Structure 1
Amino acid sequence: MIRTLIESRDKTISYAAYRLLKYRFRNSPNVDITMKQLDDLMKGLNYSISDTSTDYSTGNPIALGNYIAQSIIDYGHTDGSNELNNYSNQYYTPTNPALPLNNPDNNSDLVINPNRWQPLSFNTFIDQSGNLIEGSTPTFLGPEWGNVKPFNLNESEKTIYQRSGNNYLVYDDPGSPPLLDISSSTASSDAYKWGFSLVSIWSSHLDPHDNVMWDVSPKSIGNINFESLPNDIQNYNDFYQVEKGGDISVGHTINPYTQTPYKEQIVPRGDYTRVLAEFWADGPDSETPPGHWFTILNYVNDHELFIKKWHGTGDKLDNLEWDVKSYFTLAGTMHDCSIAAWGIKGWYDYIRPISVPFVLWQN
């Protein structure tokens, strides 16, 4: 009996995952390879890929798996993401003309709003998945994402803004970023210039030959008191160390597990900053930025000292139950983070660092 239940459970999970993956990646690059790998995996499990029934009323585990997948797919058509139109923007249009990157210094005729987003035009563009796109001007991805139905964001966290008669939903609104006033000097303009100067200065820290060495161990990095976090844009220059790099974190005196001091790890600053950027950038051969958090979760889950108890209490959970609950919780959290972050980005429509030198040169 137990064996039959386990086999049924495995079938349901396998078919649910298979149908959903087939649907999600049906238009992906190298789709033929992806589809063959999915089909081969199912065939290797001796599962028929031709059984598409969703009527699970008789207790058919295959039909239940297909039904679960179809339910998720159907929900994605109604969640505000515009999935049926390949997630395209429904009304957002950029204020600024595109900046041609082949010769940006020869575009003095472009009139740029210094506080709004600007597209970039490439002769050759390689997207995050490693796909080559000739003569491309990529669109703003997800500026209307605040309209997507959240997992656990509350109505009390939501603000509805309007631009050109269209709604932009913003959760946990942090307020406007600093704006440049080209006619007068203001605190906001000063913060604007300071922030983008910081990007330029910290970009120079990527140089591995500047002979600056850092201790990158927990002894010197991390551990910031909540009271020390900046609560206003004007306080950022007290929090970030402009010339040196990094912030005002004080590190940790003792390793809480070994109860001994951390050993210093002295490395070139340029190596550390480049690896840190690459670690979170997630290029074409990785799991993408959202998926990165799941690799961290996997690392924690697989650690020999980790005990799988929900909220740290009660009985120890088996691996499947723990994976389902922990993945669902993290996925819902990441879903809400994306809605909040891109809702803010879409509404404030802020300029990118690469456009700022051109803007300041014009003015």
Structure 2
Amino acid sequence: MPVHRFLSALTLALVTVAALALTALPARAGGPNVVVRWNQALLQAVRGGTLGPPLVARALAIVHTCAYDAWAAYDAVASGTRLGGSLRRPAAEHTEADKAEAISYAAHLAAVDLYPAQRAVFDALMADLGYDPADASGVPAGVGVTACRAVLDHRHADGSNQPGGYADTTGYAPVNGPVVVAEPTAGIAAPGRWAPLTYANRAGVVVTPPFMAPHWGGVASFSGAARALADRVPAPYAYGSSGFRAQAAEIVSVTAALTERQKAIAEYWADGPSSETPPGHWCLFAQQVSARDRHGVDEDVKLFFALANAVMDAGIASWEVKRDHDSARPITAIRHLYQGRQIPTWGGRTVEGAAWVPYQPSWFPTPPFAEYVSGHSTFSAAAAEVLRRFTGADTFGGQAVVAQGSSLVEPGVTPTQDVTLRWSTFSAAADEAGLSRRYGGIHFRAGDLQGRALGRAVGTAAWDRAKSHWTGRG
């Protein structure tokens, strides 16, 4: 089964779980600029598509790199990522209209390449902006198309295997057979290693998703540093060691004692099937920052370029670590450690250890890839680092409301009243995103904390590379 298809029957509409908003968000005349509108259109395609988080991060990076490279032709010093300054237009053409046209033709070409089934979304935006995607005869349109084709040529050979449906190119095979979630686990051959899960998805179909994109660590990174940074991540605790047992015990105790707020945090940040996924979640925050700080095209083309490439590199680096260590998720490790014992769990229940499940919907009990390190933690820390550096401060002021009874784990029961989550800083939001995976019972402490550290390093490297391009040093 191709890696991007396993989510197709699942529908986790987080827009019904939480409504994103900023406090005291200032109005902006004329609405979002063309960069934000292309980001919104791409996120719409992401929600309707089937790509998993690292693949979505790459898609975001490609679209916003194409937009940036097209825009760079209309800046006095910025260099494109593929063609440098060779497309630069005369200063008299550095108008808002020409920038918007070049950006739109570039973004459209990239978006259709990545999400061909969603072409109607992108064509509709072009029409609304006053452009004909079939007519690129104008100079700005030609610049956009030329810039984007160079990026696509590079990315079609970047190790992702996009032309092959993103199928694994490494021959990866799990050392463990599938674990049936609905049945107590009698034993696992290699309890410290990743095991596929068998369960009924939201459509009632029994599925056993394979490891998502085990080849992803080999994708070419934007900064060029993703794999080197991944190689510096320390090894996880060995299965059965005191450190491993302690973090497993922590998950058991934490998930058994979840408060309503902690449950809301776990579900708000889930970013599972049919959502924006973690990389897209941070694009929503960037859209809010754009409105808050009244960005124009020049600011946003750089912000989303840096942000999207940082989360792409976060996916590459975290998946390299996941593949290297092939580590067990809590659902299988805890079942093996606690089999034959009664243990407490969420909902005030006691269960046989071999039947323990995390605080997740039964139709998506744990994402299909190794535990160490947490992708959520890595994506979020990288994104927060870019937003902090771009805005010049860590100040955020974001909030989200998790509606009463909106839980997908305990529908109609949790929470008993609306829960408002607030983040004064980007760092606080990133830390909560990482912690949410421990509340949800799908990551251990080390996987979260090492993912955060990796994300900050990746975000710094991507930021430095992005800034070098728009300052003409790239």
- TM-score range normalised by the length of the shorter chain: 0.5 to 0.7
Report what 1:178 is aligned to: 237
Pair 345,60 (structure 1): closer, same or farther in 2 beyond 3 Å: same
Counterpart code for 2:191? P
Q: What is the Cα deviation at residue 297 of structure 1?
A: 2.3
CA distance in 2, matches of 1:331, 1:4: 25
CA distance in 1, matches of 2:230, 2:338: 35
Report what 1:112 is aligned to: 189
Contact 2:192 2:333 in 1 (8 A): no
CA distance in 2, matches of 1:177, 1:4: 51
Report what 1:87 is aligned to: 166
- Note the alpha carbon deviations across 1:104-150, whole angstroms, 9 max, x for none: x2x53x5420111000012x224xxxxx5833211111333221112
2:211 paired with 1:135:
no
In structure 2, stretches of 5+ residues that fail to align are 1-90, 341-474
Pair 273,73 (structure 1): closer, same or farther in 2 beyond 3 Å: same
Pair 190,277 (structure 1): closer, same or farther in 2 beyond 3 Å: same
Q: What is the Cα deviation at residue 302 of structure 1?
A: 2.4
2:186 paired with 1:102:
no
Contact 1:205 1:273 in 2 (8 A): no
Following TM superposition, the consecutive aligned residue runs of length 4 or more in structure 1 with deviations greater than 6 angstroms are: 1-4
2:256 paired with 1:204:
yes
CA distance in 1, matches of 2:124, 2:286: 28
Contact 1:153 1:171 in 2 (8 A): no
Moved more, 330-339 or 283-292: 283-292
CA distance in 2, matches of 1:272, 1:344: 31
CA distance in 2, matches of 1:323, 1:299: 11
Looking at both structures, which has the greater relative contact order when contacts are Cα pairs under 8 Å and sequence separation is at least 6?
Answer: 2
Aligned ranges 1:244-259 → 2 under 5 Å: none
Report what 2:354 is aligned to: none
Report what 2:30 is aligned to: none
Pair 361,278 (structure 1): closer, same or farther in 2 beyond 3 Å: closer
Pair 39,300 (structure 1): closer, same or farther in 2 beyond 3 Å: closer
CA-atom RMSD, angstroms?
2.7
CA distance in 2, matches of 1:135, 1:118: 16
Report what 2:127 is aligned to: 43
Contact 1:112 1:359 in 2 (8 A): no
Q: What is the Cα deviation at residue 18 of structure 1?
A: 1.3
Contact 2:105 2:136 in 1 (8 A): no
Q: What is the Cα deviation at residue 49 of structure 1?
A: 2.5
Contact 1:98 1:137 in 2 (8 A): yes
2:220 is aligned, of 143, 146, 149, to 149
- Note the alpha carbon deviations across 1:27-47, whole angstroms, 9 max, x for none: xxxx3xx33232222223332
2:281 paired with 1:292:
yes
Pair 279,200 (structure 1): closer, same or farther in 2 beyond 3 Å: same
Counterpart code for 2:132? S
CA distance in 2, matches of 1:284, 1:295: 17
CA distance in 1, matches of 2:153, 2:257: 47
2:201 paired with 1:121:
no
CA distance in 2, matches of 1:361, 1:4: 65
Report what 1:70 is aligned to: 149
Q: What is the Cα deviation at residue 276 of structure 1?
A: 1.6
Counterpart code for 1:51? D
Q: What is the Cα deviation at residue 351 of structure 1?
A: 0.2
Q: What is the Cα deviation at residue 343 of structure 1?
A: 0.8
Counterpart code for 1:114? P
Report what 1:355 is aligned to: 332
Report what 2:245 is aligned to: 193
CA distance in 2, matches of 1:194, 1:101: 23
CA distance in 2, matches of 1:329, 1:205: 39
- Note the alpha carbon deviations across 1:275-297, whole angstroms, 9 max, x for none: 22223212445421011222222
2:270 paired with 1:275:
no
- Note the alpha carbon deviations across 1:249-272, whole angstroms, 9 max, x for none: xxxxxxxxxxxxxxxxxxxxx222
Seq. identity, %: 30
Q: What is the Cα deviation at residue 327 of structure 1?
A: 1.4
Q: What is the Cα deviation at residue 196 of structure 1?
A: 1.2
TM-score normalised per structure 2 = 0.48
CA distance in 1, matches of 2:276, 2:188: 39
CA distance in 2, matches of 1:44, 1:195: 52
Pair 95,52 (structure 1): closer, same or farther in 2 beyond 3 Å: farther
Q: How many residues are treated as equivalent by the alignment?
A: 249
Which has the larger Rg?
Answer: 1
CA distance in 1, matches of 2:289, 2:97: 28
